[in-house]
Amino acid sequence: MPVTIVIGAQWGDEGKGKVVDLIAPEVDIVARYQGGANAGHTIKWEDKTFVLHLIPSGIFHEGTECVIGNGVVIDPVALMAEIRQVEALGFQVEGRLHISHTAHVIMPYHKRLDQAKEKYRDAGAIGTTGRGIGPAYVDKFARNGIRVVDLLDKDTLRAKLESALEEKNDLLAKVYGAERIDVDEMVNEYVDFDRRIDPFVTDTTALLHRALADGKRILAEGAQGSLLDVDHGTYPFVTSSHPTAGGCCTGLGVPPTSVDRVIGIVKAYSTRVGNGPFPTELEDETGEQLRATGQEFGATTGRPRRCGWLDLVALSYATRVNGFTDLAVTKLDVLAGIDELKVCTAYKIGDKITDRFPLDLDTLDRVEPVYETLPGFGSIDAASTMDALPQEARDYLQFIEDRLGVRISTVGTGPKRSETIEV
C-alpha cells in the first residue's frame, strides 16, 4: 500500500488519532496534509493520554518518520511546545520529524484577526477555534502569506512583515478596535523560531517522492472531517482547507495514482463542534448521555460537542466524495445501554423524501431526519473479536456496511489502543 489516507467522515472528532496510531507501526512515514493547530488528535495507551495538534500521530512509534506537509499552516508557538512535550515523554523528535519548507506560518496577527472577526460577527459567528487558521489560509491564497522558507533571511522576513502589518494593523485598529502589533518584536521572535525549527525543515515533497520510489509506505493523516471541507462541506460553517481525499495530493505533493487505500473514520453516532447545520442533533437526555459517556468535549478548545444519532445520508455523501475503501467505526461502546438506536437513512424536505445530502444551508436547515430504529445492546467492554460482540451490536455494524456499501475493517470498543477489534 504505497499511500493510505485516513479521513474523518463526519464533522471531525471521529477518532482519527487513535486509528493512525494503530496503523503507524505498519508504515514508514505518517504525513499530515492540511489544517493547523485547530485539530486535536488524542492518543491513549496504558495510563497515558496525549493530544497532538500539529505533529503527526505516528510520532509515538520509534520506527516511524513524520512529515508536516506544505498544506498545513504552522503555529510556531504551538509546534515548539508540542515538540518539547513529546520529547519530555522520552520520544525522539529530531531526525524523525520533517517540516515542509513551503508550509505557511501562522503569525500573531492571524490569531488576533481570527478572534476579532468572530467577535465582530457576534450572532453570525462561524465558531472557529480562534487560532488563526482561516486568516492564514486567506493570506496564502491572496499570495500574501509567510512561508517557512521566508524565515531564513531576516531582511526578507522584515520586508514581508512590514508590508503585511501595514494592512493588518489598520484592520485590527480601525475595524475591530484591537491593539496594533509591533514589527520589530515579531521579526525577532520568528528569527529565533527559525533557528530552533531549522533542523526539521526540508523539501518534504521530494522526501515523499524518494520514499515512494524506494517502495516505502506512507500514511496520510487528515485533520477535521469531510463535512467541514471548504468546498464540499456545510459552507460557510467549514474549515479553511480540504480534509477530503483530494486534499492529500495537494497538501503533500503526492500523485493520486499513489493512493490505494482510503479509510473513513466514523463515530458510531454523530457529533459537531461549533455552529452550523446538524440534522440529527439531540437536544434531550439522550444527547446529554452521549456527551457524558463519550466525553464529548473538544480536544483543542474543551468546548462541549453537539451530539446526535448516526446520519447515513451525510455519510453516504462523504463516502462518494472520498471513495472510501473501508471504514473504522469508533466509540461503539458509547452506545451500550441505550434501549433503542436510531439511524437516519433519509431526509424529509417538505413533502418529499430524499437520500441526497443538500449543501445549501437553507435546505439543510429545513430537513427532517427519517429514522430507522434498531435494538440497543449491552456492555461490549470485554469484546476483543467481532464474535464476542452482542448480536445487536453486530447487526448495527452490518446495517452501516449494507447501507454505505463499504466494509468495516476496524471497530473501537474504547479509547485505548488495546480497545480495538480488527475485523
Write out the catalytic residue numbers.
Answer: 13, 41, 140
**Residue 333 annotated as binding site:** yes
151 belongs to an annotated ligand binding site: no
301 conformational bin, left if phi > 0, alpha if psi -120 to 50, beta if neither:
alpha
Consult the annotation and say whether 25 binds a ligand.
Answer: no
Residue 224 marked as a ligand binder: yes
229 annotated among ligand-binding-site residues? no
Find out whether 8 is annotated in a ligand binding site: no
Cα–Cα distance measured from residue 336 to residue 333, given in angstroms and rounded to the nearest whole number: 5
d(CA 278, CA 281): 6
Would you say 16 is a known binding-site residue? yes
Q: Is 210 annotated as a binding residue?
A: no
Is 31 flagged in the annotation as binding? no
Put the strands of the sheet holding 259-267 in their side by side order: 201-202, 97-100, 65-68, 29-32, 218-221, 3-8, 259-267, 326-330, 407-412, 420-422
C-alpha–C-alpha distance, residues 89 and 280, integer Å: 40
Residue 331, annotated as binding a ligand: yes
Cell numbers given for 271: 457529533
Instruction: Show the CA angle centred on residue 119, arms to residues 116 and 123, nearest 5°.
Output: 150
239 is in an annotated binding site: yes
Q: Has 129 been labeled as part of a binding site?
A: yes
Instruction: Check the annotation: does 15 bind a ligand.
Output: yes
| 300 assigned binding-site residue | yes
Q: Is 405 annotated as a binding residue?
A: no
250 is in an annotated binding site: no
CA atoms within 13 A on the CB side of 342: 14
Which triple of cell numbers denotes residue 71?
498544506
Please report how many Cα atoms fall inside a 13 Å half-sphere around the Cα of residue 401, on the Cβ side: 14
- Cα–Cα distance measured from residue 316 to residue 270, given in angstroms and rounded to the nearest whole number: 14
162: amino acid identity, one letter: E
Count Cβ atoms below 10 Å from residue 197 Cβ, excluding itself: 20
Question: Is 128 one of the annotated binding-site residues?
Answer: no
Instruction: Determine if residue 323 is labeled as part of a ligand binding site.
Output: no
Q: In 385-399, which positions are buried (b, 16+ CB within 10 angstroms) versus exposed (e)?
A: eeeebbeebbebbeb
In the chain, the N- to C-terminal Cα span, in Å, equals 18
CA 300/CA 45 separation, integer angstroms? 19
Is 295 within 8 Å of 288 (Cβ atoms)? Answer: no
User: Which residue ranges are tagged as binding site for Mg(2+)?
Assistant: 13, 40
Q: Which residues are annotated as a binding site?
A: 12-18, 38-42, 129, 143, 224, 239, 299-305, 331-333, 412-414
Task: Give the annotated binding-site residues for substrate.
Answer: 299-305
